[in-house]
Amino acid sequence: MIKFEDVTKIYPPSTVGLERVSLHIEKGEFVFLVGPSGSGKSTFIRLLIREIEQDRGRIIVGGRDLDTLRSWKIPYLRRNIGCVFQDFKLLTNKTAFENVMYALVVTGNATGASKKKAAEILALVGLGHKSDSYPNELSGGEQQRVSIARAFVNHPPLLIADEPTGNLDPDTSMGIMQLLYRINKTGTTVLMATHDREMVDRMRRRVIALDNGKVVRDQKRGGYGED
């Protein structure tokens, strides 16, 4: 699903984003990306969705070599990647249902069956009864579930979650993690950047640790720290 081959990104004048990173993430994996602030996690994600370009090396996502990807094809790449963020990024003037439907509309997947599909995904995340609620009428955990529903409604092969539990209490965070785990079990590859030490230690999935732009650890069933 993801291949980084000797990838380096330097921000002018000389700040290292990533330095000579090489790794593979297979289809269907659940991977935690960890490391302190400034370690390279955000750079890694921005490179994946072609928000920025590497200075050297090769990146392949879902079989697409991003170096040969023309600019007009970048939106098509992103349609196959679901993204969940710490600050939810919901449209405040749309209901939960309309936020999920919006993802179908902008990707050109709105059909006669779209409303049923959006309703089913909201039910999947446990919010079928809140479909007519606006974001300001939902709790933080509920808003994040809508965000996940919107990211998953097109059944992308890759879902990227950037600090999805950063603003949530421990119990709500565990519910979000269980939801992401269920999505992963359907075959979607999940890459989650996080500072949540307790969550990573509890889940025991593959852990890729970055520090100063370099991969310092890659464990198949790792914890947050080196154990």
CATH assignment of the domain containing 10 = 3.40.50.300
Asked whether the predicted pLDDT for residue 108 surpasses 80, the reply is: no
**Boundary of a domain, candidates 107, 127, 154:** 154
| Domain match, 75 and 96 both | no
Residue 103: pLDDT band (50, 70, 90) is confident
For residue 146, the enclosing domain spans 92-154
High-pLDDT (> 70) share of the chain, %: 98
Q: What is the mean pLDDT of residues 105-132?
A: 86
Give the tens place of pLDDT for each residue, 162-189. 999 888 888 888 899 999 999 999 999 9
Q: Are residues 97 and 144 in the same domain?
A: yes
What is the mean predicted confidence (pLDDT) over 196-213? 93
Is pLDDT of 112 > 80?
no
- 150 and 163 housed in the same domain: no
Pair 47, 13 in one domain: yes
User: Do 55 and 119 belong to one domain?
Assistant: no
Q: Which of 211, 210, 194, 212 is nearest to 202 (CA)?
A: 194
- What pLDDT shows up at residue 114? 83
Q: How far apart are the first and last CA of the chain?
A: 27
Q: Structural domain tally of the chain?
A: 2
Q: 227 pLDDT exceeds 70?
A: no
Pick from 117, 138, 154: which residue ends a domain? 154
Reference 22, options 37, 44, 38; nearest CA is 44
Does residue 49 sit within a domain?
A: yes
Q: What does the pLDDT average to over 29-44?
A: 95
Task: Answer yes or no: do 191 and 211 share one domain.
Answer: yes
Domain identity same for 114 and 180: no
Residue 117 covered by a domain: yes
**Domain boundary residue among 138, 154, 170?**
154
Report if residue 85 sits inside a domain: no
Q: Is residue 6 part of a domain?
A: yes
